[in-house]
Structure 1
Amino acid sequence: MHAEGVRKRFGPTLALDGVDLAVRPGESHALVGRNGAGKSTLVSVLTGLHRPDAGSVRFDGEPAPPYGDTAAWQSKVACVYQKSMAVPELTVAENLFLNRFGERFIRWPRLRSRARALLAEYGVEVDPGARAKELSVEQRQFVEIAKALSFGARLIILDEPTAQLDARGIQRLFDKLRDLQAHGVAFLYISHHLQEVYELCSTVTVLRDARRVLTAPVAGLVKADLVAAMTGEEASAVADREPRRTGGADVEPLLDVRGLALEGEFEPVDFRVRPGEVLGLAGAAAGGSTALGETLVGMRTPTAGAIRVRGRAIRAGSVPHALETGIGYIPEDRHRQGLVTGRSVAENATLTVADQLGPWGTVLPSRTRQFAASMIRSLDIKTRGPDQPVSGLSGGNQQKVVVARALARRPHVLVALRPTAGVDVRSKEALLSVVRRVADEGRAAVIVSDELDDLRVCDRLLVLFHGRVVGEYGAGWTDRELVAAMEGVGEGESPAAGQKEGA
């Protein structure tokens, strides 16, 4: 496959700016870059989901199939996504031949026999009669790879394939990929775990700010140089981050987490957050940071440990009790978890304080609008007024409504999961300043993110990788060292961390 000069724009956003990429037969080629670098858009172009504005894509020297010719694209390339595309209630055999049974009346024994032969051809040991939902993550991936190869595709794009695998599963996946490479199958491997790039791939391409900034053999490429290409920051560059004055070790923490663990997601972790402090939990979503954040707010039930707010224990796995105890929550997905889109700005902003909007459990519309109006002014929400449907706001202003709801009860601790996802630069700055203001008022905040801009407002960072804390950083961290830690190629504590008692 050879892509040359690929450009793609979505409105004012330039998603790809003249990107070149070549993957040879039998090669395992890594594609890496920070969030927003252009990886997903490039994959959409390479698989025929998006038509490039400029540039070309060729397979085996021939032009890519016409846009919209799904069957032709499937015969060239396929993508196995982090989230399985298999239909859970259908069997393995039915998923393998979905929409191509080849006969008017399905002969089930014959279908299972064809599936068994196909799986055996690629060495996949799975029962064709098992339902997809009964398979392990690893088995589903093997089935989807076998399905892609059965269409004739010789280039398979793997999108974060190890995110939900344990160490043994990762090794079995790598063994299978190497075996297929020996038969001429090529892989474009997308991962946030750079150590895997060194274990599996022969070539790596780095995207940054919609451009290709590096293509090089993996052998001999210094890890620090690879991270520098991803971040645009040299190893010697240190960010200008002054430590803020927060409560010392003798000040009672607002949030006290001891031995907290969730089997299969993250190992036991201890940390404290004091008044005036913003703690960052840095790391990829699949590395345990998101699960830890959701456990703090009661959305997940831990298998061990305890959470206390101002000395009061939070009932495990109870969102109402976490709210009552003093935790505010900004969810990762505002559309699914943060907003009732058919309701007004006022109704959304006051969901957590409905008990304060009228006597004897009633909700007075006038008091709702008055409360919402104060939040609109405080957070500078751009809206026609409290009664405007929240669906009519921009993404940044919708997120501000979610923040307003989280702050409505004046929580002691604000937990924000990737709070600036999908918003513009100005809205991002405004949202982060609100989080910072919460701490500056003597409360505390926790930001869960792998976005460097989100983490810059934090006083202290804990880095999670594969479910465990691998580093702690105070003021003075560099983009290079932090990205290296989050990608699993640089573990440890920076000299600036210093406040070990707080973790």
Structure 2
Amino acid sequence: MTDHQDHRDPDHHAEPPLVEALGITKRYGPTTALRDGRLTVVRGQSHALVGRNGAGKSTLVEILTGLQAPDAGTVHFDGVPAPAPADRDAWRAKVACVYQKPTVVPGLTVAENLFVNRQPTRRGGLIDWRRLRAEAAVLLDTWDVRVDPDARTAELKVEDRQMVEIARALSFGARFIILDEPTAQLDNREIERLFTRMRSLQESGVTFLFISHHLQEVYEVCRTVTVLRDARWITTAPVAELPRPALVEAMAGEAAAHQAHRTRNPVPDEAPVLLDVQALSGEAYEGVDLAVRAGEVVGLAGSSGSGKIQLAETLAGLHRPRSGTAQLAGRDLPFGDVRATLAAGVGWVPRDRHDQGLVPDMSIGDNATLSVLDRLGTRTAPDRLGGSRGGKRSLLARLGFVAPERRRAVAAELVDRLDIHTEGPHQAVSDLSGGNAQKVVMARALASDPRLLILINPTAGVDVKSKESLLARVDTARDDGTAVLVVSDELDDLRRCDRVLVLFHGRVVAAHPAGWHDHELIAAIEGVAR
């Protein structure tokens, strides 16, 4: 597949496209989120937009819906320039996006959600509830959305909430609907019902832009596909003329598609199993079996709706599973209790350092040592940084006292160990760059000398040099005999793994040993190789 191919429909020039974006560029500071983005959508079709995370899909959607203005390029609807960014009513009449996370208000009824902030009123400005329900019923019937107008939206199935959002968008006059990962929370029967509804709406004049990580769905429901990669447009082609391997190659890049990775020395067979997961099931994953040996790095890959993050967070103590077991070094993990999980020997780098990983008003040293406060109530230095695995708490720590000089010493050693560029452990963590802030999160995870290290998106939002430094810590943990679980959307993060397990709709569907090719892993993640 050669980059920058554009296959147009024979009747493309018969009328202006419903939507046309050309030469779109968007920068955020030094970061170029999209350059030369382009999209041409023909009326009445379902058009797919695909690409790996970071390809520029979200940026293009924000521009197509008027949430962001491009730095360069043009957007037209029906041959007419897009409305001014401030004219929200004009944008609502052109386009709407149904996101993976619902935007309906769960405590309101379906009718109230359909006409929120524009309810019909009687004299005196009071809401006309009878008319509201009647107009909602007509709207739902017009678009064959079979839900009760009086039902609480929170009680609806995910697929019905999506249809309510689509009906609301259509009521503004929009006939171009963007579906952003609409199948992520649906089972197979619900997905098929969604596709049936999409086809029916297309026959009524609705056009869809379909964004999905599951490529087999693109072939099932879409006529044309546009591929973005590395923040730029790569190709637009009829789905029927683009074989699956060619589509994967366009997403991965020709060089990556043929790239083999260095095989690392295998973990010895006699290495003990530290993490043993049996038939674990939760809201987003089902029947997961997983074993990680001492000194083994196992990756978890999958799309945003695969369940990989929820599985990892369960093992880190954030959630309780519905069923199944997980043991660390022969002892049951204390599900649903982060503090107890930490004490059991788990270190954790959360998926979002801003919301879950750092206390911004505290210093670097305070943040880095939060996981080992119970070991800092003594002047006696431990054998290894942070004390022995599962070490006893000192008397002073149990009484709530922390020795300041010990805390400073441990913090200084962590700063040095992680190569955190700082004025010293006393500096506010909020002053750090993204890469150095992420190193602080990693330092705290390593400070307790964990038996199991769980890393979720460990290099998200960091520069290349910091990324390499963070990933080097994975190698160090492996050499120390730690079991490591790496959960990431970044292929570079997964290259250091001894094997990578792929989750698809909550189930492990593939296992790739070290040495995998990019196109093989991407195909499994996107559901092509199931």
Instruction: Name the TM tier (shorter chain).
Output: over 0.9
Moved more, 231-240 or 377-386: 231-240
Asked if 1:202 corresponds to 2:223, the answer is: yes
**What corresponds to 1:461 in structure 2?**
500
Asked if 1:301 corresponds to 2:340, the answer is: no
Instruction: Measure, in 2, the Cα distance between the counterparts of 1:363 and 1:126.
Output: 59
- Name which of 448, 460, 469 aligns with 1:409: 448
Q: Is the 8 A contact 1:86 1:140 kept in 2?
A: yes
Q: CA deviation at 1:99?
A: 1.9
Instruction: Measure, in 2, the Cα distance between the counterparts of 1:242 and 1:288.
Output: 27
User: What SS is found at the alignment partner of 1:469?
Assistant: strand
- Name which of 132, 152, 174 aligns with 2:195: 174
Q: Is the 8 A contact 1:276 1:440 kept in 2?
A: yes
Q: How does 1:475-486 map to 2 (within 5 A)?
A: 475-486=514-525
Instruction: Measure, in 2, the Cα distance between the counterparts of 1:235 and 1:242.
Output: 16
**What corresponds to 1:426 in structure 2?**
465
- Name which of 314, 332, 336 aligns with 2:351: 332
Q: How does 1:36-435 map to 2 (within 5 A)?
A: 36-103=54-121, 104-233=125-254, 237-248=258-269, 250-262=270-282, 264-358=283-377, 359=396, 360-435=399-474
**What corresponds to 1:499 in structure 2?**
none
Instruction: Measure, in 2, the Cα distance between the counterparts of 1:119 and 1:30.
Output: 26
User: What SS is found at the alignment partner of 2:487?
Assistant: strand
Q: CA deviation at 1:165?
A: 0.8
Amino acid at match of 2:103: M
Instruction: Measure, in 2, the Cα distance between the counterparts of 1:67 and 1:315.
Output: 50
TM-score (norm 1): 0.94
Instruction: Measure, in 2, the Cα distance between the counterparts of 1:341 and 1:157.
Output: 36
Instruction: Measure, in 1, the Cα distance between the counterparts of 2:357 and 2:276.
Output: 26
Q: Which consecutive residues of structure 2, in runs of 5 or more, have no partner in the other structure? A: 1-18, 378-395
TM-score (norm 2): 0.89
Q: CA deviation at 1:251?
A: 2.5
Q: CA deviation at 1:442?
A: 1.8
Instruction: Measure, in 2, the Cα distance between the counterparts of 1:408 and 1:3.
Output: 49
Q: CA deviation at 1:299?
A: 1.5
Instruction: Measure, in 2, the Cα distance between the counterparts of 1:352 and 1:235.
Output: 39
Amino acid at match of 2:224: T
Q: Is the 8 A contact 1:234 1:480 kept in 2?
A: no
Instruction: Measure, in 2, the Cα distance between the counterparts of 1:61 and 1:144.
Output: 26
Q: Is the 8 A contact 1:243 1:474 kept in 2?
A: no
Q: CA deviation at 1:385?
A: 2.0
User: What SS is found at the alignment partner of 1:427?
Assistant: helix
- For residues 155-214 of structure 1, the C-alpha deviation after alignment (integer angstroms, 9 at most, x for no partner) is 100100011111111111111110010111110000100010010000000001111111
Q: Is the 8 A contact 1:2 1:22 kept in 2?
A: yes
**What corresponds to 1:500 in structure 2?**
none
User: What SS is found at the alignment partner of 1:320?
Assistant: helix
- For residues 72-130 of structure 1, the C-alpha deviation after alignment (integer angstroms, 9 at most, x for no partner) is 01100011111111122222222211222254321112111111111111111222222
Moved more, 405-414 or 377-386: 377-386
- For residues 9-42 of structure 1, the C-alpha deviation after alignment (integer angstroms, 9 at most, x for no partner) is 1111122211221111111000000011000000
User: What SS is found at the alignment partner of 2:442?
Assistant: helix
**What corresponds to 1:497 in structure 2?**
none
Q: What RMSD in Å do the two structures reach over aligned CA positions?
A: 1.5
Q: Is the 8 A contact 1:118 1:146 kept in 2?
A: yes
Amino acid at match of 1:295: T
Moved more, 95-104 or 183-192: 95-104
Q: CA deviation at 1:230?
A: 0.2
Q: CA deviation at 1:236?
A: 6.4
User: What SS is found at the alignment partner of 1:415?
Assistant: strand
Q: CA deviation at 1:383?
A: 2.1
User: What SS is found at the alignment partner of 1:286?
Assistant: coil
Instruction: Measure, in 2, the Cα distance between the counterparts of 1:235 and 1:88.
Output: 44
User: What SS is found at the alignment partner of 2:448?
Assistant: coil
Instruction: Measure, in 1, the Cα distance between the counterparts of 2:327 and 2:218.
Output: 40
Asked if 1:18 corresponds to 2:49, the answer is: no
Q: Is the 8 A contact 1:224 1:235 kept in 2?
A: no
Amino acid at match of 1:340: V
Asked if 1:441 corresponds to 2:480, the answer is: yes
Amino acid at match of 2:486: I
User: What SS is found at the alignment partner of 2:459?
Assistant: coil
Q: CA deviation at 1:425?
A: 2.0
Q: CA deviation at 1:320?
A: 2.6
- For residues 438-497 of structure 1, the C-alpha deviation after alignment (integer angstroms, 9 at most, x for no partner) is 111222211012211110111111111111111111122111010000110013xxxxxx
Q: Is the 8 A contact 2:266 2:498 kept in 1?
A: no
Instruction: Measure, in 2, the Cα distance between the counterparts of 1:194 and 1:50.
Output: 28
Q: Is the 8 A contact 1:343 1:390 kept in 2?
A: yes
Q: Is the 8 A contact 2:47 2:208 kept in 1?
A: yes
Amino acid at match of 2:443: A
Amino acid at match of 2:55: A
Q: CA deviation at 1:235?
A: 8.4
**What corresponds to 2:48 in structure 1?**
30
- For residues 396-448 of structure 1, the C-alpha deviation after alignment (integer angstroms, 9 at most, x for no partner) is 21111111111111001101111112222222221111122111122221101
Cα 1:236–1:407 change in 2 (3 A) is closer
**What corresponds to 1:489 in structure 2?**
528
- Give aligned-pair identity as a percent: 58
- For residues 120-146 of structure 1, the C-alpha deviation after alignment (integer angstroms, 9 at most, x for no partner) is 111112222222222221111001000
**What corresponds to 2:23 in structure 1?**
5
**What corresponds to 1:496 in structure 2?**
none
